[in-house]
Amino acid sequence: MRKLLEQCELPAIVFGDFNEILYSDEKDGGETRDDRQMANFRHVVDSLALRDLGFKGSPYTWSRGKSVDTLVRERLDRYLASQRWCALFPNVVVTNLPVNNSDHGPILLKEEVRQRGTRSKMRRFESLWLSNENCEKVVKEKWNEDECMEAPTRIAQTLEKLSQWASSTFGNIKKQLKETEKRLKYLQSCQPDARVLA
């Protein structure tokens, strides 16, 4: 990392599994981490003038163990960025998502768009909709309603119709995902219970 960034004069960001923590409070369970290892990692980060972008969500990005006695959780994954990069992207937020099918949880970097006044709700096509055979029918019917209409308007109206259809067909998927994720985060932040883990 040092070799790469010392030669780079451009804004830089590095991220992923560093296999090390910066401070002892980024670890829960297991043997105490060697202070020298953490100090070496901090020295590299400081000497390269990198900034930890912080996080929202779970304090740990990695876990191992299935009982109260063997469970170890650590924040091994993170985003580090140069000052020049941070100046270009001042509104980014890192979210540590729950550990699910792997021993590492995904870390998501997203720019928060700050707008004044009212915002119109943005519609997006969801690939899940294709799993229902009526999706194509809804698109064709709406698209063919007014062939004289300009393409951008037809696209917007078709997507609006498709969104309404999806809402009644699938329910509020985002809300369901949010509630499930919230529950998962809560469960992962709780102190482990031997009865649950057994």
Summarised one tens digit per residue, pLDDT across range 31-90 is 888 889 899 999 989 888 889 998 888 888 988 887 878 889 999 999 999 888 888 888
Whether 45 and 22 have beta carbons less than 8 Å apart is answered as yes
CB atoms within 10 A of CB 145: 12
Starting at the earlier edge strand, list the strands of the sheet with 56-57: 56-57, 92-96, 107-111
Query: In this predicted structure, what is the pLDDT of residue 198?
Result: 46
SS3 177: helix
Which of 90, 173, 91 shows the shortest CA–CA distance to 127? 173
Question: What is the location of CATH 3.60.10.10 in the chain?
Answer: 2-114
pLDDT mean over 157-177:
80
Q: Is the pLDDT of residue 118 over 50?
A: no
pLDDT digits (tens, 9 = 90+) for 119-148: 445 567 777 788 888 888 888 888 887 677
Query: In this predicted structure, what is the pLDDT of residue 90?
Result: 86
Q: Is the pLDDT of residue 187 over 90?
A: no
pLDDT mean over 91-97:
89
More confident residue, 75 or 7: 75
Least confident of 146-150, 158-162, 164-168: 146-150
More confident residue, 26 or 2: 26
Protein fold of 2-114:
Deoxyribonuclease I; Chain A (3.60.10)
Q: How far apart are CA 137 and CA 99, in angstroms?
A: 38
- Name the band, by pLDDT with cuts 50, 70 and 90, for residue 192: low
- 15 forms beta bridges with 79
Strands 107-111 and 92-96: antiparallel
Q: How far apart are CA 171 and CA 23, in angstroms?
A: 43
Phi, psi dihedral angles at 126 (to 5 degrees): -110, 130
Alpha helices in 48-172 (DSSP H): 83-88, 135-143, 151-170
CB atoms within 10 A of CB 50: 21
